[in-house]
């Protein structure tokens, strides 16, 4: 596996706010990865650090084993950011030609038009006259102009109509099929599930889960038994039971995930963990995700 991107213990703090808190992950060539999380989870901050637009307060970001700002890196990546800004005064074709000229192996304008849904008419239009949708398509075309190996999109489909969305994901699939690496952020579970083969679930500036969509869905939707226990109690005995899928602590409670919650209850008593205030939580995917996303709190 060839690593395209590595983050090691990356933290970003803005004065009193820690937007990203000690995250580490690697992405290999050809992966399509969704950074999924609610507003404020740290998605844009993370993407900005990956792109070298923000410097981490601590930790290290490596792209193609180099610093994000290096020229050899910039030539290999294409990006579409949340805020679309276009160059006024120039026609769409001129902007495309200008950006293409920065890259050693740019895609032909004709391909960019076909891939993004821009029209011949759009090419003749001055950037400042473009509608929101046209601007978005131009920005998509600019992301692809250099025929990048790694494409990074920050909430790409926000504000797109259904037709544009379809075309967008179709193009992403085309690029993925060519072995390109794609990273996109979204706050829609459905979108991450449909488009990505791996989800990094962000919450409060940290990675709450990392895995295939099916794993993530199972993790957030699986029933669990939760309880409070003395902090010094060892949960070790529970780890030896194969019926248990996961054990974690959240908000001073212990959660034991298993599809067989009756068995978990038996084990709690059998292992004499002193569990109190026991609750059984039935996981429903959308609800679980909503709950997860709505409990995002402002760090102090």
Strand partners, 220: none
Binding partner selected for residue 17 from ligand ADP, Mg ion, none, CB under the kind-specific 5 to 8 Å limit: ligand ADP
Q: Which stretch binds ligand ADP (CB under 6 A): 35-43, 73-81, 134-142, 224-232?
A: 35-43
Q: How far is the CB of 116 from Mg ion (least distance, A)?
A: 22
* Three-state DSSP state, 32: strand
Strand partners, 246: 257
Q: How far is the CB of 10 from Mg ion (least distance, A)?
A: 16
Q: Which is nearer to ligand ADP, 39 or 178 (CB)?
A: 39
- Residue 167 exposed, middle or buried by CB count within 10 Å (0-12, 13-18, 19+): middle
User: What is d(CA 149, CA 289) in angstroms, rounded to the nearest whole number?
Assistant: 32
295 binds ligand ADP (CB under 6 A): no
User: What is d(CA 179, CA 253) in angstroms, rounded to the nearest whole number?
Assistant: 43
- Residue 218 exposed, middle or buried by CB count within 10 Å (0-12, 13-18, 19+): middle
Q: Which is nearer to ligand ADP, 134 or 293 (CB)?
A: 293
44 binds Mg ion (CB under 5 A): yes
Binding partner selected for residue 106 from ligand ADP, Mg ion, none, CB under the kind-specific 5 to 8 Å limit: none
| Torsion sign over Cα 282, 284, 289, 290 | negative
Q: Which stretch binds Mg ion (CB under 5 A): 42-50, 61-69, 85-93, 174-182?
A: 42-50
> Edge-to-edge strand order for the sheet containing 276-281?
246-250, 253-257, 224-228, 276-281
Q: How far is the CB of 7 from Mg ion (least distance, A)?
A: 17
Binder to ligand ADP among 4, 19, 96, 200 (CB under 6 A)?
19
How many residues of this chain interact with ligand ADP, rule: CB under 6 A?
11
Would you tell me how many other CB atoms lie within 10 Å of the CB of residue 224? Answer: 23
Which of the residues 256 through 275 are near Mg ion (CB under 5 A)? none
Q: Which stretch binds Mg ion (CB under 5 A): 1-9, 44-52, 96-104, 247-255?
A: 44-52
User: What is d(CA 129, CA 127) in angstroms, rounded to the nearest whole number?
Assistant: 5
Residues counted in the chain: 300
Q: Which is nearer to ligand ADP, 122 or 204 (CB)?
A: 204
Give the contact letters, 36-65, x = binds to ligand ADP (CB under 6 A), - = no: -x-xxxxxxx--------------------
Provide the binding-site residues for ligand ADP, judged by CB under 6 A. Answer: 14, 17, 19, 37, 39-45
Which positions lie near Mg ion, rule CB under 5 A? 43-44
């Amino acid at each position: 596996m060839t690593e395209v991107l590595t983050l090691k213990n990356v933290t970003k703090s803005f004065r009193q706010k820690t937007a990203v808190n000690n995250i580490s992950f690697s992405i290999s060539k050809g992966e399509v990865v969704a950074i999924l999380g609610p507003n404020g989870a740290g998605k844009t901050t993370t993407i900005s650090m990956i792109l070298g637009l923000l410097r981490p307060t601590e930790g290290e970001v490596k792209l193609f084993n180099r610093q994000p700002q290096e020229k050899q890196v910039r030539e290999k990546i294409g990006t579409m950011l949340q805020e679309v800004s276009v160059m006024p005064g120039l026609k769409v074709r001129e902007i495309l030609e200008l950006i293409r000229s920065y890259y050693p192996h740019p895609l032909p304008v004709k391909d960019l038009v076909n891939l993004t849904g821009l029209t011949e008419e759009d090419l003749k239009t001055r950037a400042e006259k473009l509608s929101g949708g046209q601007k978005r398509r131009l920005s998509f075309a600019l992301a692809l102009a250099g025929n990048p190996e790694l494409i990074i999109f920050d909430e790409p489909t926000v504000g797109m109509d259904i037709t544009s969305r379809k075309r967008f994901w179709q193009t992403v699939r085309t690029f993925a099929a060519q072995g390109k690496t794609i990273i996109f952020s979204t706050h829609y579970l459905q979108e991450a599930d449909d488009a990505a083969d791996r989800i990094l679930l962000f919450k409060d500036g940290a990675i709450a889960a990392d895995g295939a969509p099916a794993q993530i869905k199972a993790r957030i939707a699986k029933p669990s038994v939760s309880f409070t226990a003395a902090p010094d109690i060892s949960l070790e005995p529970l780890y030896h039971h194969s019926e248990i899928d996961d054990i974690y602590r959240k908000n001073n409670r212990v959660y034991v995930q298993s599809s067989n919650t009756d068995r978990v209850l038996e084990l709690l008593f059998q292992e004499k963990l002193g569990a109190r205030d026991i609750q059984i939580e039935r996981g429903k995917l959308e609800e679980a995700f909503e709950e997860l996303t709505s409990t995002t709190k402002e760090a102090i």
